[in-house]
Structure 1
Amino acid sequence: MSRRSQPPSPDSSPRVAKRPRLEYAPLTSEDYKHGLMLAPMVRSGALPTRLYALKHGAKLVWGPETIDKAILHTTRGVDPVTGVVSYHGKSKAIFTTHPIEKPFLIYQIGSADPELAVQAAKMVQQDVSGFDLNCGCPKPFSTHGGMGAALLTNPDLLCSILTALREAMPPEITVSAKIRLLPSQEDTLKLVERIVNTGISALTVHCRTRNMRMKEKAVIERLREIVEFVERMGKGVAVIENGDCLGYEDSKRVREVTGAHSVMIATAAEANPTCFSPTPLKDLELTFVPSYIRLGKYLGNHWSSTKFCSTQFQGQHKSASRADLKALREAIVHAKSYEDMEEHVAPWTGEKEFAEIVEAIERRGGQRAPPIALQPVAPAPTLAQIASETTKDQVALQEAPDAAPASQSIPAAVLGLDIPPAAAEAIAV
């Protein structure tokens, strides 16, 4: 029987292994800026995924949404070998973490009750650096009972939960919220104003409405006005964009369009947790999946969780053969335990993978920004600047003594402005 089949020893056990203790300043709103973040993802946001995201450049990581009532019925334990902290329910661990990720870990709460939210936060506050209220998930498991995206239509309750969390948590613990756009921009700004005034440190905006689905393009253009609005409030709150970012390089486009302080990645990270790096891994079946499975076993991650995450991984291929890909994929699909994967991922220790993650985090030198930080981008002009420049151009035209002869005008095609009528309509939309 595997040593992982038994619940970990209590956190008071004298046998608990010593783990690296990195000293970090308390999390602030500034730590939510200038970075790429791992989004909260149910199932896909497992501990091994979060650790690999940190290794490859994520600045902060969100844990999967955990319903307040679920965590209240758990018992905390610490594995004496690995140091993994588990909050065990009746039949399984509801939430797992490791001290190495604590300085970067945001715990997302699913709640529709201020009192329960505070109780849940107090249960796990020793193992996290911040709390985030889920106000955007449209799935029934989240909206049931008024949680998730249901809070968007109940701003009084939404803000009362955030206020309660902020008042109950010590100042070194941050509080944030993750919302979706409302159909009306005016209504969105009104909601954002109320949320910011609760004392949060950061606001993540998934740039889709509640009724939009992943196949629909995120309307990231709407975020710039929200960012400007929040900055004018003068509270230093970070605004994080979420929706359709494909990775490190693509984040430049997103930041240019939106002016967001940071970018959060979900779907692309689910497919490739190394996407936070300027050089994400390719041929994942050879370069990443075996290591992920070894780490999962070492950390005691339940096989069903590791199996699910592994089946989601996909990325660019450079040198892997079809035979390599097919053999590993089929083995994962049919495997019922870690032992069934031995032929493909042995040796089993997983300690090497964990040591490499610890080393990568230590290279940050007590800073939350990874060694390869986001490069500055030239932000798109603000709405006010656009209006100002338009006014200046109009005035200049009116004051010009004489317009140049038509024969001397520069053809639009030379400027790249020769747009067919149909294309012009598409751009306008």
Structure 2
Amino acid sequence: MSRRSQPPSPESSPRVAKRPRLEYAPLTSEDYKDGLMLAPMVRSGALPTRLFALKHGAKLVWGPETIDKAILHTTREVDPATGVVSYHGKSKAIFTTHPIEKPFLIYQIGSADPELAVQAAKMVQQDVSGFDLNCGCPKPFSTHAGMGAALLTNPDLLCSILTALREAMPPEITISAKIRLLPSQEDTLKLVERIVNTGISALTVHCRTRNMRMKEKAVITRLREIVEFVEKMGKGIAVIENGDCLGYDDSKRVREVTGAHSVMIATAAEANPTCFSPTPLKDLELTFVPSYIRLGKYLGNHWSSTKFCATQFQGRHENTSRNELKALREAIVRAKGYDDIEEHVAPWTGEQEFAEIVDAIERRGGQRAPPIALQPVALAPVPAPETTTKDNAYVPSDSAPAAQSVPAIGLGLDVPPPASAEAIAVQ
């Protein structure tokens, strides 16, 4: 990919030269409330996905989990033409970001060592607004060294990492954690109490246990007691629900049942990053995929990343059929690089897509909430009590609200990912 050796001059880029610099107040626990958040997703949470999520209404975005040791062996580089910041390892960029997303960006750390977690945070703190400790991913790539969901059974280590991060980071950098439910609600509340007392600003709860998988319905009815418990602690901590939310409209159901301050979206956002909007895009092959690919090239996103994300997109077809879009699907499958897909997504610049994202962010006027904010909701009646198994694991009652099915037709791309789809959105 070609790059200009020098930044554009004011004469060649008057739009950039005249654009004012917006100042944002430091992130606080209040910024984690009343919003829809993009979940941390391995591979799917790439920079273009995060930027489009912000454009379409996400309040905050989480970057993909990055292991502490991985980021420590990188070199920070800034592209003079686009402003993209890349942390390069030996063979590829481990993490990329752009200054436009910094006020909304939460960097998720995978760690099982307080000292390494702090070192990793110090490496990237100039480019993010907060750090989140991954305490929930159950996949081997995260748990093999005591990280991710393994921390749920080692609360001393979990809390020591959060405490170390809070003590090491300046006050304007927030610290948060993302956990899963423990089999016992009593044990979950005990863990939550310890975590809240470390000084975090927000707690995300994926409403599944470590052994549950994506095909199993999230037990969102358990969250209301956790939310009420945290609120009674009086620290103003935001509790964010994660699990089975399909988008802006569906978030009302989730908030009514759980009382959560905000909702985090993973799988639905992987399929359609515009799901944060009250009017998400449809016919994505025409309305979204070409723009995503153009932005990916403009930002220097590695083709394999852009291609993988494009293969995950799916949504309603209203004005087109899959057969009509066969050429685009096949071209993406065959493409070895951006040049191979050019005829389907031209013009190539990508600058227009980026300018529209910048404009959408600037319309927030220095506030983190999007122009169309979530509407207040009343709590739904408390559902019927849940039962427990002989090992004290919660089982949802038949009356618990069921997750809605996604009426979507995918791109139909036969591109096997290096990791399973579950490993991507399971955090």
TM-score bracket, normalised by the shorter chain, equals 0.7 to 0.9
Partners of 1:256 and 1:379 within 8 A in 2: yes
Quick one: distance in 2 between partners of 1:410 and 1:350?
Answer: 30
Question: Alpha-carbon deviation of 1:378?
Answer: 1.1
2:77–2:88 Cα contact (<8 Å) kept? yes
Structure with higher Rg: it is: 1
Secondary structure of the residue that 1:108 maps to in structure 2? strand
SS at match of 2:76: strand
**Partner SS state of residue 314, structure 2:** coil
Question: Retained in 1: the 8 A contact 2:143–2:149?
Answer: yes
Q: CA RMSD in A?
A: 10.0
Deviant stretches of 4+, over 4 Å: 4-20, 387-391, 400-429
Q: Provide the residue aligned with 1:397 in structure 2.
A: none
Q: Does 87-96 or 18-27 show the bigger shift? A: 18-27
Deviation at 1:192, TM superposition (A): 0.2
Sequence identity percentage: 92
Contact 1:78–1:84 (Cα < 8 Å) also in 2: yes
Q: 1:347 to 1:161 in 2, by over 3 A?
A: same
Unaligned runs of 5+ in 2: 389-395
Q: Is the 8 A contact 1:113 1:161 kept in 2?
A: yes
Aligned-residue offset at 1:425: 31
Q: Is the 8 A contact 1:19 1:83 kept in 2?
A: no
Asked if structure 1 preserves the Cα contact closer than 8 Å seen for 2:313 and 2:410, the reply is: no
Residue correspondences, number: 416
Q: Which residue of 1 aligns with 2:418?
A: 421
Indicate if the aligned counterparts of 2:62 and 2:106 stay in contact, CA closer than 8 A: yes
Give the alignment's TM-score, normalised by structure 1.
0.86
Alpha-carbon separation, structure 1, partners of 2:325 and 2:413: 46
Any conservation in 1 of the 2:6–2:80 contact (CA below 8 Å)? no
SS at match of 2:10: coil
CA deviation map 1:159-205 (0-9, x unaligned): 00000000000000000000000000000000000000000000000
Gaps of 5+ in 1: 382-386, 392-399
Q: Distance in 2 between matches of 1:190 and 1:12?
A: 59
Which stretch of the first structure deviates more once superposed, 14-23 or 361-370?
14-23
What is the CA–CA distance in structure 2 between the aligned matches of 1:417 and 1:78, rounded to whole Å? 33
Separation in structure 1 between the aligned mates of residue 397 and residue 353 of structure 2, nearest angstrom? 72
Distance 1:68 1:4, change over 3 A: farther
Q: Secondary structure at the match of 2:332?
A: helix
Asked if the contact 1:11/1:78 (under 8 Å) is kept, the reply is no
Q: For 1:86-142, what per-residue CA distance to the aligned partner results, in whole angstroms no more than 9, with x for missing partners?
A: 000011000000000000000000000000000000000000000000000001000
Q: Structure 1's 236 and 8: CA in aligned 2 closer, same or farther, altered over 3 A?
A: farther
Matches within 5 A, 1:189-208: 189-208=189-208
Quote how far apart the aligned CAs of 1:428 are: 30
8 Å contact from structure 2 (residues 10, 17) kept in 1:
no
- CA separation in 1, counterparts of 2:406 and 2:355? 62
Deviation at 1:380, TM superposition (A): 2.6
User: 1:133 aligns to what SS in structure 2?
Assistant: strand
Q: Which has the higher contact order (CA 8 A, sep 6+)?
A: 2
Q: Separation in 2 of the partners of 1:353 and 1:405?
A: 38
Q: TM-score of the superposition, structure 2-length normalised?
A: 0.86
**Distance (Å, rounded) in 2 between the aligned partners of 1:304 and 1:415:** 17
Q: Is the 8 A contact 1:283 1:317 kept in 2?
A: yes
Tell me if 1:376 matches 2:373.
Answer: no
Q: Is the 8 A contact 1:27 1:129 kept in 2?
A: yes
Shift, 1:3, TM fit: 3.2
Q: 1:88 to 1:11 in 2, by over 3 A?
A: farther
Return the alpha-carbon distance in structure 2 between the equivalents of residues 410 and 9 of structure 1: 47
Aligned partners of 1:176 and 1:202 also within 8 Å: yes
> Could you tell me how far apart the structure 2 residues matched to 1:211 and 1:296 are?
35
On the 8 A contact 1:149/1:180 being kept in 2, the answer is yes
Alpha-carbon separation, structure 2, partners of 1:214 and 1:389: 20
Deviations, residues 338-367 of structure 1 (Å, cap 9, x unaligned): 000011001100000000000000000000
Structure 1 pair 16–253 and aligned structure 2 pair: CA distance change class (3 A): closer
Verify the 8 A CA contact 1:8 1:79 in the aligned structure 2. no
Deviation at 1:10, TM superposition (A): 21
Note the alpha carbon deviations across 1:141-172, whole angstroms, 9 max, x for none: 00011000000000000000000000000000
The 1:16–1:324 alpha-carbon spacing in structure 2 relative to 1, beyond 3 Å, is: same
